[in-house]
Structure 1
């Protein structure tokens, strides 16, 4: 029996692990491990996670760094990091893809070999660490990947429109499924797969010009998970749309006939950002209203996404990311309220198996990629530890949010 089957609520943390290494004029590389100095401080950082009572740590591999050239692997840093997990007694849940592809993969997710190359990488990792690592998230937030890379032209390969987003959906679903099948062949029944999706909630009652578009978006937010779990077949509301936008019948049939399913369905929920409010008369930019108003639905929104995903996919659910941006007391208040909501769900018989505060220490806004100032201007105060500039680099300074997390984790 593994952690998701033992009936307890497990407390987890995450270290922000977005990697978009490609550059072009006006856009610099975004590597959160580099920005937060995690590469140099991984030994210390994993100790911090253990020190506040985390049992699990969502933690990503920088694919572009361990695969600097096609066919060449550089395992040195990763070997030391994985060994440290065992030393501190924290169980890693490995993010294989948290947005970035290697620099040698021209066209990134649009490259025809992306699914096969991604699966090769996944299997290489699973084989190397088969004795110590069993828990994997093949693709973190695949719909954010698809929208940012395929619809909004915000990240490479800078596609736009519905055909672009469907092209990304097809590539990501194909790579996702191949990677999970490959890992399962290596690890067998020991493998634990935590699927993780962003949970964009689309609120508002529309009767006018955008109603059909919003209904499409409401269905589309599930589409990658629906594809990999074999749900997209005759009768699925998006089947015809995917076909009309270029997704091949052969891929649709392969995904439907050889599904991969989550042992745990993870949902990422940020009360300040996860609910978008659509109104008649607003102007659309790609899939979103411009500007995109949000509404803070607090624990009501959290309960909605946890129960919706549990019911839809028939698997235990985990809150795999949550926090609020703001002061220490605001963060503690949200932690207390969200933990209480999950305990109520569990008392009512819902299978919520993990609570994840994201991140362990502060992170840097994704807009850093398009900015020109120093990293300090992009810092987001979200963690249990503040990142403080010092002559020796970024000091990790514990704040009271860490005490609140330790208090909750100690009650398990």
Structure 2
């Protein structure tokens, strides 16, 4: 794999791309499975797709393992596809940052993340992946991508399995995801030792507007702390004095839960922030209540690089680790995407010059993806395509073509100085 195992401490600025890897394989009435690798035909085009990352000048690729396919039954593993992909990474001297949990559990796991055995099972799976690919030098892992967003969609909004709702649902999901996170990282560390690099990733969210209005004050204050809740739990920061400790306790957390997390912390080697300028800042309006999420969204505001800089600084100040922008883009025209690429890269270089240890930049995704609304729709996938990628996806008689855009050259310019 390219680069040093201590790439995150070498003082450099590293460019990455991501392959969208949301997996929600459970189907139901009015609900189609989401498997972005299937939707984007990555399962068949992986060989050339990784070549695109090299063509763009990326050093790192955020890429996920489809647990639901790797472990189709309890105790049975099918590594055949992932083996070929990992060999391709080694062939290209390209370094994956491996997403182990990007929203989906195997179909055989009843109650999904609410299953009491989920934390143990996700740790066993994570250790199996680490063991399988250690000989190739694969050592960079994200145990859970965007765990707080995950907890909201599965635990408060009842939008994804296991369809829990309300404060108790959110607390249950937060606890389960955080326990799995801790056990998975500890299990991988046992396998990889000092070679392991753990990139913790969550969505950067900001709340602005009439946050001090009486009808919003308490809710907005909770949301501002809730952004960090899973990361605070896994890093042992949620004690009796944590602002959300009363909320957790009122919704099912007991003394044993608080003690478990404070006694068994896992720390990030890199703190990843996902920031989308047109979506990451939500606006509270006086006299209007929005619950949040897909069903009742608050309006958003594009605060551009100012919002990104705030979240990057806050992540470093809170956790002390080097920071990486682990997802960013705008959904828009090629020009709009190039403008955001130029502005955001320049802003991160300014942060570095100001002494903030920003070590990387990730354009997400490498090629277009399909919106999560596909799950609740009967329309063809093209109706849900998001124009986000360096490459455009185009329907042809032979499947989805990857169509190069001018953004590739601009990304390569930033990554390689060409």
Shared fold (TM-score greater than 0.5)?
yes
Q: Give the distance between the partners of 2:349 and 2:19, measured in 1 at CA.
A: 24
* Aligned match of 1:141: 146
- The partner residue of 1:271 within 256, 261, 277 is 277
Q: Give the distance between the partners of 2:106 and 2:254, measured in 1 at CA.
A: 26
Report the CA distance between 1:60 and its aligned residue: 0.4
**How do residues 93-172 of structure 1 correspond to structure 2 at under 5 angstroms?**
93-132=97-136, 133-172=138-177
Report the CA distance between 1:343 and its aligned residue: 0.5
Q: Give the distance between the partners of 1:286 and 1:394, measured in 2 at CA.
A: 34
TM-score by length of 1: 0.98
> What are the Cα deviations for residues 311-351 of structure 1, in whole angstroms up to 9, with x where unaligned?
00000000000000000000000000000000000111110
Report the CA distance between 1:290 and its aligned residue: 3.4
* Aligned match of 1:10: 14
**How do residues 48-127 of structure 1 correspond to structure 2 at under 5 angstroms?**
48-127=52-131
List gaps (5 residues or longer) in structure 2. none
Secondary structure of the 2:134 match is: coil
Asked whether 1:238 is paired with 2:244, we answer: yes
Asked whether 1:226 is paired with 2:232, we answer: yes
Q: Give the distance between the partners of 2:176 and 2:287, measured in 1 at CA.
A: 34
TM-score by length of 2: 0.97
List gaps (5 residues or longer) in structure 1. none
Q: Give the distance between the partners of 1:11 and 1:210, measured in 2 at CA.
A: 39
User: Do the aligned partners of 1:217 and 1:287 also contact (CA within 8 Å) in 2?
Assistant: no
* Aligned match of 1:329: 335
Greater Cα offset, 196-205 or 28-37: 196-205
- The partner residue of 2:182 within 177, 190, 201 is 177
Report the CA distance between 1:168 and its aligned residue: 0.2
> What are the Cα deviations for residues 54-108 of structure 1, in whole angstroms up to 9, with x where unaligned?
0000000100010100111000000000110011111000000000000000111
Q: Give the distance between the partners of 1:291 and 1:233, measured in 2 at CA.
A: 31
> What are the Cα deviations for residues 343-362 of structure 1, in whole angstroms up to 9, with x where unaligned?
00011111000000000000
User: Do the aligned partners of 2:47 and 2:85 also contact (CA within 8 Å) in 1?
Assistant: yes
Q: Give the distance between the partners of 1:368 and 1:215, measured in 2 at CA.
A: 32
Secondary structure of the 1:131 match is: helix
Report the CA distance between 1:130 and its aligned residue: 1.1
Asked whether 1:369 is paired with 2:375, we answer: yes
Asked whether 1:300 is paired with 2:306, we answer: yes
Count of residues in correspondence between the two structures: 412
* Aligned match of 1:46: 50
Q: Give the distance between the partners of 2:183 and 2:112, measured in 1 at CA.
A: 17
- The partner residue of 2:396 within 384, 390, 394 is 390
**How do residues 201-212 of structure 1 correspond to structure 2 at under 5 angstroms?**
201-205=206-210, 206-212=212-218
Secondary structure of the 1:49 match is: helix
* Aligned match of 2:362: 356
Call closer, same or farther: CA 1:333–1:200 in 2, change over 3 Å. same
Q: Give the distance between the partners of 2:104 and 2:257, measured in 1 at CA.
A: 23
User: Do the aligned partners of 2:291 and 2:298 also contact (CA within 8 Å) in 1?
Assistant: no
* Aligned match of 1:259: 265
Call closer, same or farther: CA 1:212–1:289 in 2, change over 3 Å. farther
Call closer, same or farther: CA 1:79–1:250 in 2, change over 3 Å. same
Q: Give the distance between the partners of 2:254 and 2:68, measured in 1 at CA.
A: 29
* Aligned match of 1:194: 199
Secondary structure of the 1:94 match is: strand
Secondary structure of the 2:252 match is: coil
